[in-house]
Amino acid sequence: LNDPKKNLQPKKMFEIKPEYFDAYEAVAAGVFKEKGVKLTYEIKENMKDIVEQKVLITDSSSWYVPELELEVEAGTAHFVPIKKLIDQVRENTKRYCGEFELEKDFEAIAEGKKAFTFIIEDPLGNAFILTDENDKSNKLTIEHQKRTPQQENEYGIQSKYNAKTGKEGEKALLEFIKKSNKIVLLTGAGCSTESNIPSYRGNIKEFPESIWTTFDPTICTIDNIVNSSDIRSKYWELETHFMAYRDKAKPNDAHHFVRYLQESNKLLKLVTQNIDDLYDDAGILSENQIKIHGTMSSVSCLTCKEKVKGGIHECLRRYKEKGDVRCETCKGIVKPDTIAFGQALKADDLAEAFDSLDKADLFIVMGTSLAVAPINKMANNALRANIPMVLINYGEHTYSHVADVFLNGKAGELSQRMLSLLKPF
């Protein structure tokens, strides 16, 4: 941004902090302005150069191009040229709708052949448009806007800690559950630690040595698994280590709590980041859950996609005997059906997870610090849709202050408490 060859605003170095890309992280870190901002950029000349200029659209920003009848709601952050934003919308529209009426206008604006107006509104005041200070032909108007009470509430600005906690929080959760019939849950590793399965990040006292303090996370990147036999061997050592815990594990009350919601016909969807299948053991029906990060139990060939008969245990047996595991059909590399670093989540699973919130009347997040994208953005969507949100987690995190209820503690222990209070209902 400080390129001396380009007189681009702002003159001082603008540090783009990670928080700018997530509204709730920005609020938690105090990275927001006293007022919101509306940026209106009227682009009439030198359009080809202008569309290559970058804009910062934060997670809380909406943006508009009136000439294209285009309105993009808040929820996705970008620091990219204007051209890329226009092209992305055009490509997505064409993919899902086919040919559309304004497609040629989209192309003309993206190619800098047509005048247009680009507008950003950001209630946190962090968005900006990078402009040439010597450009007198195109007008950038900056309006500072007072946030509405609804926006103050949405982003948790009014009070640092709005959530009900302790006994008051438990009472509020019971009332939410009593009134709700379409509950969506998002769960993480904290729901399995009380089944004696170690967490990945080790913030639970019983497991100070987490998976990632015992093993290097880079052995779980898909490129390393595919390209290095040495790293692949370490990967299978990790799986051996994990399954030693999993084979002895049984569901705890964090799993039984979900079963209770299912049997009470209140469970709309369980979205779990866990790969241990303990919810299966607890009796959660497959149609009621989305294993967003996959499952350890089955194993597939990365080349021919054939499933390995006998699953993970057969693969561990072969690894112990031969030091490597290959597909018996095509000799390709096999791995458990989990999502490794560098692998994309299944698009259908991700869409179903987010779509479930459209029907939800309560969103419960349990046993996760919401640190893993993109599934953590379910919390953002729930907040924007004014769906009551309950967090149950061992320790505070980014979203603790914006939830309706925050219960600080172990998922299993708190679930047992909830079950004992819910049974009379």
In the chain, % of residues over pLDDT 90 = 59
Can you give the pLDDT at residue 325?
94
Confidence of residue 240 (pLDDT cuts 50, 70, 90): very high
Q: Name the pTM for this structure.
A: 0.71
Can you give the pLDDT at residue 21?
77
Yes or no: say if 155 and 60 are a contact pair by the CB < 8 Å rule: yes
Question: Is the pLDDT assigned to residue 254 strictly greater than 90?
Answer: yes
Sign of CA dihedral 404, 410, 415, 421: negative
Question: Pick from 164, 115, 163, 121: which is nearest to 145 by CA?
Answer: 121
Confidence of residue 8 (pLDDT cuts 50, 70, 90): very low
Can you give the pLDDT at residue 11?
38
Neighbours of 338 (CB within 10 A): 18
Residue 97 burial class via C-beta count within 10 angstroms: exposed 0-12, middle 13-18, buried 19 and up: exposed
Yes or no: say if 79 and 73 are a contact pair by the CB < 8 Å rule: no
- What are 107's two structure tokens? 């192309």
Distance CA 23, CA 76 (A): 10
| Residues catalogued as catalytic | 293
Q: How far is CA 381 from CA 25, 121, 386, in A?
A: 14, 18, 9
Task: Give CA torsion, residues 221, 227, 232, 235, to 10 deg.
Answer: 0
- What are 184's two structure tokens? 């969506």
Predicted confidence (pLDDT) per residue in 172-213, tens digit: 999 999 999 999 999 999 999 999 998 876 554 555 567 878
Predicted confidence (pLDDT) per residue in 55-114, tens digit: 999 888 999 999 998 998 888 888 889 999 999 888 888 877 778 888 899 999 999 999
Confidence of residue 1 (pLDDT cuts 50, 70, 90): very low
Question: Is the pLDDT assigned to residue 160 strictly greater than 50?
Answer: no
Task: Give CA torsion, residues 199, 383, 60, 396, to 10 deg.
Answer: -40
Mean pLDDT of the chain: 88
Can you give the pLDDT at residue 47?
87
- What are 29's two structure tokens? 């870190």
Higher pLDDT, 17 or 250: 250
Higher pLDDT, 172 or 25: 172
Predicted confidence (pLDDT) per residue in 208-230, tens digit: 567 878 888 889 999 999 999 99
- What are 210's two structure tokens? 């987490």
- What are 382's two structure tokens? 């729930």
Neighbours of 304 (CB within 10 A): 12
Predicted confidence (pLDDT) per residue in 318-356, tens digit: 999 988 899 999 999 999 999 998 888 898 999 999 999
Question: Is the pLDDT assigned to residue 424 strictly greater than 70?
Answer: no
Can you give the pLDDT at residue 206?
53
Predicted confidence (pLDDT) per residue in 73-89, tens digit: 888 888 889 999 999 88
Can you give the pLDDT at residue 387?
93
Predicted confidence (pLDDT) per residue in 265-324, tens digit: 999 999 999 999 999 999 999 999 999 999 999 999 999 999 999 999 999 999 999 888
Yes or no: say if 174 and 422 are a contact pair by the CB < 8 Å rule: yes
Can you give the pLDDT at residue 208?
53
